[in-house]
Amino acid sequence: MIVLPAIDLRAGQCVRLYQGDYSQATVYSPDPVAVALRWQEAGARWLHLVDLDGAAQGQPVNLETVGRIRSATTLQIEFGGGLRDLASIERILSLGIERVVLGTSAVRQPSLLAEAVRRWGERIAVGLDARAGLVAVAGWQQTERLTAVELAARLCTLGVARFIYTDIARDGTLSGPNLEALQVLLQVLSLAQPARALIASGGVRSLEDIRSLARLGVEGVIVGKALYTGDLDLAAALACAASSEPTAEAGS
């Protein structure tokens, strides 16, 4: 299982939100590049990078910072936040970003998602951001009348190979991941041909959480606040994920 440390960008700084609330933001570093290098030195191979300003405004905002992180590290990077048209997606990918995550556009512009998947294949992932099971969009500020499970099933038909599930109520709370919701999603994604990959996000706080997610059978886990508060050591989390095995029935 892959562990992806998260960096959330707001006004060029590394911040964390509480349950996706922009009014409850904590600045952890004014230098996101230094943070990315710290995670790289700890052994990370992937970085989960989110442009919070871009998610709220509908177009990428922190591109200069993204470019500096790309230039300074050898990390593989997945990026999300404000990607609502093909030009924005292409611009991010042209920076050397390995994967982009579509959220709002995947819900509201399925034709855009389909074209993006046609052009870039597995470099396109979809974020399933849920509040009480319902999909949230526009920087988590609007809720759709659609469940994450329903959306995942629908988008599998468009060829999406990878989904990232975030339980908003647990994001930034250190309350543990929503294992039950993840299990249901894995069951849905296992029915696709071929089966789709799932990355978990939200609430991870301990090595036991890492073990539980690995046993569940998710492809990866995004870890944010626990790294910044010191509740979780990244090197230890990486070692734990590498040594943990999924259960035989995971995703089935």
pLDDT (mean) for 91-110: 94
Give a yes or no: residue 165 inside a domain: yes
Report the DSSP pairing between strands 197-201 and 162-167. parallel
Give a yes or no: residue 92 inside a domain: yes
Q: Which of 201, 242, 240 is nearest to 221 (CA)?
A: 201
Q: What is the pLDDT at residue 133?
A: 85
Residue 180 structure tokens: 């039950």
- Do 6 and 17 form a contact (C-beta atoms < 8 A)? no
CA 124 to chain centre: 12
Instruction: Name the DSSP class of 11.
Output: T
Q: What is the pLDDT at residue 246?
A: 65
Q: Assess whether pLDDT exceeds 90 at residue 251.
A: no
At 182-200, the pLDDT tens digits run 999 999 999 999 999 999 9
Determine the Cα–Cα distance for residues 14 and 54; give it in Å rounded to an integer: 14
The number of CA neighbours under 13 Å toward the Cβ of 115 is 11
- Active-site residue, from 51, 53, 129, 167: 129
**What is the SS3 string spanning 156-207?**
HCCCCCEEEEEECCCCCCCCCCCHHHHHHHHHHHHCCCCCCEEEEECCCCCH
Q: Which of 174, 171, 165 is nearest to 133 (CA)?
A: 165
Give a yes or no: residue 251 inside a domain: no
Residues 6+ away with beta carbon under 8 Å from 77: 46, 47, 49, 69, 70, 97, 98, 99
The total number of structural domains in the chain stands at 1
Residues 6+ away with beta carbon under 8 Å from 96: 70
Give a yes or no: residue 16 inside a domain: yes
Give a yes or no: residue 248 inside a domain: no
Give a yes or no: residue 204 inside a domain: yes
pLDDT (mean) for 215-238: 97
- Active-site residue, from 8, 51, 171, 209: 8
Q: What is the pLDDT at residue 203?
A: 94
At 124-178, the pLDDT tens digits run 999 998 988 889 887 677 788 899 999 999 999 999 999 999 998 898 889 999 9
Residue 129 is a catalytic residue: yes
Per the model's pLDDT, the better-predicted residue between 249 and 67 turns out to be 67
Q: What is the pLDDT at residue 34?
A: 98
Name the β-bridge partners of 129. 166
| Domain extent at residue 80 | 2-243
- AA identity, residue 163: F
Q: What is the pLDDT at residue 252?
A: 33
The CATH number assigned to the domain holding 32 equals 3.20.20.70
Give a yes or no: residue 138 inside a domain: yes
Determine the Cα–Cα distance for residues 94 and 225; give it in Å rounded to an integer: 29
CB atoms closer than 10 angstroms to residue 161:
18
Determine the Cα–Cα distance for residues 58 and 45; give it in Å rounded to an integer: 28
At 1-56, the pLDDT tens digits run 999 999 999 999 999 888 778 888 899 999 999 999 999 999 999 999 999 999 88
Determine the Cα–Cα distance for residues 130 and 140; give it in Å rounded to an integer: 8
Give a yes or no: residue 55 inside a domain: yes
